[in-house]
Amino acid sequence: MGPFPVRQLMHLGRPNDDLRQAFERAAAVVAVSPSLAAAIRDHGLPCTDVIPNVVDPGRFATAARTRPPPSPFVILSLGALTHGKGMDLLLDAFARWRPSPAEVRLHIAGDGPERTALVARAAHLGLGEHVRFLGRLRPDEVPQAMMQCHAFALASRHETFGVVLAEALTAGRPVLSTRCGGPQAIVGPEDGLLVEPESVSELADGLRELRELARSADGDAIRARAIARFGPEAVAAQLLQVYQRVLRA
């Protein structure tokens, strides 16, 4: 078993012979989400197991113990500033909601080809006081950003998994995301909200509801559920079962 560049697969109209042979000769093919497994099978390729990506709980232990001041309420989004991550939709939704900047702020972390356009969009929407662009974060800076937020939002148009959602949950933060593939297998009803992708109105309503949810959310319980699903022991146990099955065969 080994990693495969999934993005190449998703853009293939029809897998070539070499790709098909690689999949068919594999003793096991593991996808990180049910939606990715379905996409692989839709291409006529085998997929035997679904095992999520792993998150290191230790990275977010301090964030889980930290609650920022109640006001302003900070929503964090983190990802590459590309079309697929839907940061433009998030800005439009925030503008549609338009809470007081003294009460709610949006932090956007990441960098990419759409950064200039997104900064201009925020200004055009009159969100200069609401939105802070944090730029690209080093891995060690991500937990710090989680410490400074009350909740997390990701408006992606498509995700095969969504590691940053699992990280936010491991930090004890409730999340809002879109039903765009991977998030459906990450965000449970006790952990946050899911809305339809590319729906600005649903995103706006979701952001408003996320704020209310965060006020009563049990951060310790959110973190415990995330560790039980995405922690090293949980993921390793599932991988071990796959290896044992392969070896028996």
Alpha-helical segments (H) within 84-182: 87-97, 115-124, 142-147, 163-170
CATH code that applies to domain 57-228 = 3.40.50.2000
| Predicted local distance difference test score (pLDDT) of residue 220 | 97
What the block records as the tokens of 106 is: 């949006």
Residue 11 pLDDT class (50, 70, 90 cuts): low
Beta-bridge mates of residue 50: 31
**pLDDT score of 58 more than 90:** yes
Q: Which two tokens stand for residue 42?
A: 């839709």
Query: At 75, is the secondary structure helix, strand, or coil?
Result: strand
Does residue 1 register a pLDDT over 80? no
Residue-level pLDDT at 7 = 54
Residue 3 has pLDDT above 60, yes or no: no
pLDDT digits (tens, 9 = 90+) for 92-129: 999 999 999 999 999 999 999 999 999 999 999 999 99
| pLDDT confidence bin for 16, thresholds 50/70/90 | confident
Taking the chain, what is the end-to-end CA distance rounded to the nearest angstrom?
15
Distance CA 221, CA 173 (A): 10
Strand ranges in the chain using DSSP code E only, listed in sequence order: 30-31, 49-50, 73-78, 104-109, 131-135, 151-154, 175-178, 192-195
- CA atoms in the 13 A half-sphere facing the CB of 244: 6
179-196 residue pLDDT tens = 999 999 999 999 999 999
pLDDT averaged over the chain? 94
Identify the residue with better confidence: 140 or 18: 140
